[in-house]
């Protein structure tokens, strides 16, 4: 993804337009990573720093995988859960 982004600006737009029903987590992760790569590139970070930023973006929600849906998707106070 990094190689493609550094060569072709349009690749990011194509990656970010693929959301389909049921794939929200996958596309959220992908979109965050693409946006992070674009931001790193715009900030003129080194290739290694952009790569690190992209990896961090891919894993930014990993801790949420063990949090129960009743907490992640809550619409009221946790006291009533």
pLDDT per position in the chain (81 positions), as tens? 667 766 666 665 555 555 555 677 777 888 888 889 889 988 999 999 999 998 999 888 887 777 887 777 777 776 655
pLDDT of residue 77: 75
**pTM score, two decimals?**
0.63
Q: For the chain, what's the residue count?
A: 81
Strands (E), the chain: none
pLDDT for position 73: 79
Burial of 50 (0-12, 13-18, 19+ CB in 10 A): buried
């Amino acid at each position: 993804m990094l190689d493609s982004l550094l060569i072709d600006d349009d690749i990011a737009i194509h990656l970010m337009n693929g959301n389909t029903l049921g794939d929200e987590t996958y596309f959220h992760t992908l979109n965050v990573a693409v946006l992070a790569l674009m931001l790193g590139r715009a900030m003129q970070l080194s290739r290694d720093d952009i790569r690190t930023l992209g990896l961090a973006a891919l894993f930014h929600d990993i801790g949420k995988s063990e949090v129960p849906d009743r907490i992640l998707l809550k619409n009221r106070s946790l006291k009533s859960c």
